[in-house]
Structure 1
Amino acid sequence: MPINQQPPPEAFDTLKKNPDAIYLDVRTEAEFAAGHPAGAINVPVMLAKGAGQMQLNLEFVDVAEKVFPRDKKLVVGCLSGGRSQRACEMLEEAGFTDLTNVVGGFGGQRDASGQVVVKGWRDSGLPVTNDLGDASYESQRKKAAL
């Protein structure tokens, strides 16, 4: 089944209409801490490996399976929509059934020339916070007992 695709304003509406839905931010811990959609929970699909390098977070699916029910509505976002699409595919393979990829993510989707083609969450004027509370990846790992 194809994964739902929504730009940030539609994803925001989906979250408002479904109070039990969760915005799953799959960016790195540092990206998340610098600002994220209000109410989002961070489980990075990729981890910073060094200067400008990333590696797959081998605990991503394991943490998600222990923190979220497989039938939970997950609205999945990253910076522009690429990592979140990959995360949705991984979650779908693990048996999650209600997934939406946020096209444009937090920072916007750009074309090959660098022009924004889909405004991100931040530039769409949607609620943003820097507060981590228990939304941090560290908190999710503790909930998952890892």
Structure 2
Amino acid sequence: MEFLQQNWHWAALAAFSGGWLLIEAIRAKADKSLLSPIEATLLINREDAVVVDVRNDGEYAQGHIPNALHVPLADLERRKGELEKYRDRPLVLCCQSGARSSGAIAALRKAGFEKLYNLRGGLYEWEKAGQPLDRGSRRNEGKGKKK
């Protein structure tokens, strides 16, 4: 008890941090647009979802989800018309960690896209889950399957 009295600021920081993590975990569970790598694979296979990789050219060239469309986040605004043909299909957006793809989802939602999903943990979690990566250096500029 004496330790807590003398170090109350550290105890408060620990309690705050723990509470923050709990809130984030609950929020993530409630967000149905976040997909695990396995859920994303099922959506791709069952509903013909299109993967849109919003990382920069160098990151994309180091490895990407097979058949992913490459539309860097910096180019999304001017290139979103290229995604129009996929408007009725689910779009799974991905980046390295899931942060940039969240921004891309917000931009596409403003443009009227509805079936938008974010790969939780990005390519980091995809690879960690043992999912395949295409490590070819050629750029894929829209080779998604058409229905």
Would the TM-score normalized by the shorter structure come out above 0.5? yes
Matched residues in 2 for 1:4 and 1:105: separation?
13
- The equivalent residue for 1:110 is none
User: How far apart are residue 132 of structure 1 and its match?
Assistant: 5.2
Aligned with 2:88 (options 65, 71, 80): 71
Give yes or no for contact 2:47–2:89 (8 Å, CA) kept in 1: no
Give yes or no for contact 1:24–1:77 (8 Å, CA) kept in 2: yes
User: Identical aligned pairs, as a percentage?
Assistant: 32
Letter of the 2:134 counterpart: T
Matched residues in 2 for 1:123 and 1:133: separation?
23
Aligned with 1:30 (options 58, 64, 83): 58
Give yes or no for contact 2:94–2:122 (8 Å, CA) kept in 1: yes
- The equivalent residue for 1:60 is 76
Alignment map for 1:104-143 (pairs within 5 Å): 104-107=121-124, 120-131=125-136, 135=140, 139=141
Give yes or no for contact 1:6–1:100 (8 Å, CA) kept in 2: yes
User: How far apart are residue 65 of structure 1 and its match?
Assistant: 1.8
Higher helix share: 2
Matched residues in 2 for 1:41 and 1:97: separation?
18
How many residue pairs get matched? 111
Matched residues in 2 for 1:124 and 1:64: separation?
29
Aligned with 2:41 (options 12, 15, 24): 12
Q: TM-score, normalised by structure 1?
A: 0.69
User: How far apart are residue 6 of structure 1 and its match?
Assistant: 0.7
- The equivalent residue for 2:68 is 40
- The equivalent residue for 2:13 is none
Matched residues in 2 for 1:67 and 1:132: separation?
22
List alignment gaps of at least 5 residues for structure 1: 46-56, 108-119, 141-146
Letter of the 2:131 counterpart: L
List alignment gaps of at least 5 residues for structure 2: 1-30, 143-147
Matched residues in 2 for 1:80 and 1:73: separation?
20
Give yes or no for contact 2:62–2:137 (8 Å, CA) kept in 1: no
- Deviation >4 Å, runs of 4+: none
